[in-house]
Amino acid sequence: MGAGASPTAIPTTSCQEHYLLQNSFLIAFLRPSGSCTFLSTGSISLYLSLCGLLVVLEYLAFFNMIDTKEIMREKRILVNNDVGRGRLSHRNCGFEGGLFIGVRSLVWFVCMRSLFWLHGTFVENPEYAGYIIPPPPPSPNFDASKDKLRKLGDAEGCLTKEEFDKMKQELEAEYLACFKKTRWPCMRPFYAASQSTITLAYNFNKLSDGVKLIGSSESDGLSSFLMKLSDTLEKMYRVEARVASDEDLKLTNKNLDKARARNKDLEQVENEQQECFDTFNNISAKAKEELGILKTRRISSFQKSLVELADRSYLLEKYEKSRIFIEGKGLPPDVNRHSVFANDYLDLSDIEIYGFDYDYTLTNYKKSVEIFLYNSAKKDLIERLKYPKEFENFHYDDKYCIRGLHFDIEHGLLLKVDSFHQIQLGSVYKGRRQLADEEVLRIYQRRHVPLKMIEERHHRKPRMSQMMDIFAKPFMCLLADVIHWFSEKGIEYEPYSIHHDVWSSVQTSHPAFHKECVKYPEIYLEEFPELSSFLENLIDQNKQIFLITNSTFDLVNAGMSFMIGKDWKSLEFDPVKKILLYDKVWKLLPNKVYSGGNLHTIQKMMKWEGSKVLYFGDHPYSDLEDLTLHHGWRTAAIIRELEDEIDTINKEEFKKYQNWSITLQSLIENNQMYLSEDCKDVITSWVHELNDITLKMKKMSNPYFGSIFRTHVSPTAFSRNLFRFADIYTSKLINMSPYSTDHVFYPRRGALPHEFRHWTG
């Protein structure tokens, strides 16, 4: 019987009979009057509609739409009925299964809210169609989807349009999938061919169609009820869909409102995002640039380290090569201690007149003269000026002082100054105590000494006095001893007063020295046998000779007689001193002694031409300065200390020091461009080594003040005056003997600072 066939009535006694056609069901509904109606369908949907009807009836009973008393009566009837007990007899009538259900059974079945087997004692087998009516599928859970939808609304202002659309599509797919999760397979064996399943999503439509089909079969009360029930189910479906749709719409609108509220400043947010993006790009670019700079710096630092390492190795290698070269190089030849050295061009053939000083020029004094002057001045300090008797324990030390030192009258200091008025540090003494460099700089503020402190200007005496002659050595030694004694005793003193007292005592000792020298010339004078032949040679060459001195005639006569003989005046000397005669002197006569007068008068009287006169003296200032600057005489200096100086520089050790110091100084000067710390350390070590060598060379000349002619690298103030006022200089007058009267002295051509240091072929 098809789904659209009209119902067929059967006797009541046949209620327990059931017939099941293949692929179809017969459903019997008992009327209240006891009759039954059978419906036939070829689709499984009717059965499912009936299952849904059970739920609807339960729903109607709950809301009192069906009388519960009727339901309970039907329940009691069904209990006493075999059908109510759930038993079905089976007859082998060619049907695969059958089903018979009454209205009471149906109502009771709904009220019991449980499931019963519709078969009785029949043993189950694979071909049996009796199955348990399945429970309703689980209700869909939309909570997760709603939470996700709410989160989507909250995050919409922070997402781009593409991200928001993507999440929305995912949410819709997940929302629709909730229905599929409630799928519950039922009656699969009846549809093994198609293997289709029935889900909750289609239940309401199936129920509505099934009930409508049943209700359209016969227009009676049940049909009307079923039609109403079908409409109710359809409305419920629509209501549920509308409610779900409204809720989703409300939630969506709510989230959209939130998103719109947050997106009011979308342009500002986009601008801020763009700014952040630009900032990030800038930071990235700067970071990239910094990385490049860092890489460059690291490479540069590495290269610099390599260069510094190479530079240091280069400097050390250069140092070693220079040292080996100097050691292999021969030492310079010795300097002849008896040579005559020229500061300026001098042609002796132009010289017609030779003049001489007496002290330390024509004559040489022994050390005993300095000792006599020191002891005599010390005695005068004690006896005449009443200085402490402890001064008697003082002893003359000829190794302490050198000629050319300056004495600072204000501070009581002995110091060595170079030709540029620079103080040589390490050569400043207060008494016998050496002053540290810091103390010297604290006193003078700098190394330079102003000219007004050294030379007399505008009739003002200078603050410093320079000891230029040899007689000054006893004075400097006694002055240092007195100052040292007061300093060690902690007694306050006035340096100017001590300087004046010591100078006065030394000057007082000179007359006593003259008397002693006249009595005992052999004690104080060195023999000079070659002097006579030198002077006679000049006379034989038709040269005039004369003697000018500030010493007494008795002293000169005793000395000349000791060195040459009592007939020394027969050498046609023209001795000149202070002229004491009251008669005017018009000319100088041989073998006569004159006293007084002045150089200008003598030169005019003798008709001497300055360039033809060569004068010898030992004091660059008092003997040579005026003659050179004002009269144009040619001058020669006799420097006794020159022999000791030459003996020192001729020592092998000194030559090695000098060669290496010159080379080391050149290394330092030529490699200052290497500025790395390692290279600076190397060069600094060279500087220390150079200072050590210079100090050793200084002590080889004099342990306190060094050489009379130079500081470490510059000429001394004494040398400056010597080179300025003397055309030639030597250690003794007799050193002129090997040179003919036609000899020409040429100054050594030294390289000026701006000239080549050496010539190469």
Could you tell me the CATH number of the domain that includes residue 534? 3.40.50.1000
Q: Which of 495, 521, 399 is nearest to 443 (CA)?
A: 495
Whether residue 668 is found in the same domain as residue 736: no
- 659 lies in some domain: yes
DSSP character at residue 413: E
98 pLDDT above the threshold of 60 = no
Whether residue 700 is found in the same domain as residue 734: no
Residue 538 · residue 571 · CB < 8 Å? no
- 82 lies in some domain: yes
Q: Which of 516, 518, 527 is nearest to 363 (CA)?
A: 527
Query: Could you tell me which residue, 178 or 15, shows the higher pLDDT?
Result: 178
Residue 169: which pLDDT band, with cuts at 50, 70 and 90?
confident
Q: Is 187 exposed, middle or buried (0-12, 13-18, 19+ CB in 10 A)?
A: middle
Buried b (16+ CB within 10 A) or exposed e, 704-741: bbbbbbbbbeebbbbbbbbbebbbbbbbbbbbbeeeeb
Query: Could you tell me which residue, 9 or 743, shows the higher pLDDT?
Result: 743
Catalytic residue from among 209, 311, 359, 380: 359
Per-residue pLDDT, 211:
60
Ranges assigned E (strand) in 618-711: 634-638
The sign of the torsion formed by the CA atoms of 648, 653, 657, 658 equals: positive
- 335 lies in some domain: no
* Distance (Å, whole) CA 679 – CA 309: 9
Measured in residues, the chain has a length of 761
* Distance (Å, whole) CA 347 – CA 407: 38
* Distance (Å, whole) CA 531 – CA 573: 13
Q: Is 294 exposed, middle or buried (0-12, 13-18, 19+ CB in 10 A)?
A: exposed
Whether residue 21 is found in the same domain as residue 124: yes
* Distance (Å, whole) CA 5 – CA 3: 6
554 part of the active site? no
Residue 235 · residue 205 · CB < 8 Å? no
Name residue, tokens 């001064």.
Answer: 391
Q: Which of 153-162, 184-193, 203-212 has the lowest mean pLDDT?
A: 184-193
Whether residue 664 is found in the same domain as residue 603: no
Whether residue 722 is found in the same domain as residue 672: yes
Whether residue 632 is found in the same domain as residue 694: no
Query: Could you tell me which residue, 453 or 85, shows the higher pLDDT?
Result: 453
Per-residue pLDDT, 266:
64
**CB neighbours (10 Å) of residue 83?**
20
Whether residue 655 is found in the same domain as residue 722: yes
Residue 61 · residue 41 · CB < 8 Å? no
Give the mean pLDDT of the chain: 75
Query: Could you tell me which residue, 130 or 593, shows the higher pLDDT?
Result: 593
Query: Could you tell me which residue, 90 or 301, shows the higher pLDDT?
Result: 301
- What is the number of structural domains in the chain? 3
- 265 lies in some domain: no
405 pLDDT above the threshold of 60 = yes
- 519 lies in some domain: no
Q: Which residues form the domain of 351? A: 347-364+525-640+728-747
- 420 lies in some domain: no
Query: Could you tell me which residue, 758 or 323, shows the higher pLDDT?
Result: 323
Whether residue 562 is found in the same domain as residue 688: no
- 553 lies in some domain: yes
Following DSSP, what letter does each residue of 688-728 receive, concatenated?
Answer: HHHHHHHHHHHHHH-TTT--SSBSSSSBBHHHHHHHHH-SE
Residue 124 · residue 97 · CB < 8 Å? no
Per-residue pLDDT, 328:
86
- 589 lies in some domain: yes
Per-residue pLDDT, 315:
86
Distances in Å between the Cα of 521 and the Cα atoms of 373, 518, 566 are 15, 6, 13
* Distance (Å, whole) CA 647 – CA 337: 7
Distances in Å between the Cα of 628 and the Cα atoms of 9, 606, 614, 622, 724 are 173, 18, 10, 11, 9
Query: Could you tell me which residue, 37 or 535, shows the higher pLDDT?
Result: 535
Whether residue 66 is found in the same domain as residue 119: yes
Q: What is the dihedral of CA 287, 288, 291, 297, to 10 degrees?
A: -110
In tens, the pLDDT along 547-587 reads 888 888 889 889 988 888 777 766 655 554 433 333 455 56
Question: Cβ neighbours of residue 328 under 8 Å, at least 6 residues apart?
Answer: none
* Distance (Å, whole) CA 81 – CA 101: 11
Residue 307: which pLDDT band, with cuts at 50, 70 and 90?
low
The sign of the torsion formed by the CA atoms of 428, 431, 434, 435 equals: negative
Q: Which of 466-470, 664-668, 715-719 has the lowest mean pLDDT?
A: 466-470
Residue 342: which pLDDT band, with cuts at 50, 70 and 90?
very high
Query: Could you tell me which residue, 382 or 257, shows the higher pLDDT?
Result: 382
Whether residue 738 is found in the same domain as residue 717: no
745 pLDDT above the threshold of 70 = yes
540 part of the active site? no
* Distance (Å, whole) CA 701 – CA 402: 10
Whether residue 605 is found in the same domain as residue 739: yes
- Global pTM value: 0.59
Per-residue pLDDT, 62:
43
Whether residue 625 is found in the same domain as residue 688: no
* Distance (Å, whole) CA 701 – CA 496: 30
138 pLDDT above the threshold of 70 = no
685 pLDDT above the threshold of 70 = yes
* Distance (Å, whole) CA 730 – CA 220: 167
Q: Which of 232-241, 302-311, 636-645, 702-711 has the lowest mean pLDDT?
A: 302-311
Q: What is the dihedral of CA 410, 418, 357, 748, to 10 degrees?
A: -170
Catalytic residue from among 311, 334, 344, 357: 357
Angle at 29 between CA 23 and CA 30, to 5 degrees: 150
Structure token digits, residue 436: 């540290």
Residue 73: which pLDDT band, with cuts at 50, 70 and 90?
low
